[in-house]
Amino acid sequence: MRHLSRLVFPLAALLATVVLSCKDKKESAMACGCNGPVFKTVENAEASYLGDGYFIIKNNMQGDSLLYGWACEQDTTLAKSPDQYTRDYIVSVNLMRACPVNDVVFPATMFATVDMVNVTAIRKK
């Protein structure tokens, strides 16, 4: 009986550690995507709309770099841009990180991640 009591405490501690680590993973998984925190706000930027909620946004704040984003809420009334190089929209967006899948952030291209965007304002140029 005495040997059994020596095993109970370490097993209980191990169980508590596993439960708490699972809880932390669930909470960190919620801190991404459309439910996650905003990491960048871009206002009045030129953008292309490629359909299905996918935007390419010219980020004037960082030397005309490009941001790639999928809208959290897709507007089915938006007309597609003629091509990815035609910036025929002016948008303001909040960007949130895409959620990782098996510790890899998707969707991604070879050169950039595609973040989630909350479109706060949009108009045709």
Alpha-carbon distance of 36 to 30, in angstroms, equals 6
What is the Cα–Cα distance from 4 to 65, expressed in whole angstroms? 63
- Residues 11-64 have pLDDT tens digits of 344 344 444 444 444 444 468 889 899 999 999 999 999 999 999 999 877 677
DSSP states of the chain: -HHHHHHHHHHHHHHHHHHHHHHHHHHHHHSSGGGS-EEEEEEEEEEEEEETTEEEEEEGGGTTEEEEEEESS--TTPPPPSSTT---EEEEEEEEPPPEETTEESSB-SS-B-EEEEEEEEEE-
Burial class (CB in 10 A: 0-12, 13-18, 19+), 34: middle
Using CA atoms, how far apart are residues 34 and 76, in angstroms rounded to an integer?
Answer: 18
- How far apart CA 87 and CA 82 sit, in angstroms, is 9
- pTM for this one? 0.68
- Domains of the chain plus CATH, in order, are 33-124 (2.40.50)
What pLDDT score was predicted for residue 24? 46
The model's pLDDT over 80-97, given as tens digits with 9 standing for 90+, comes to 999 999 999 999 999 998
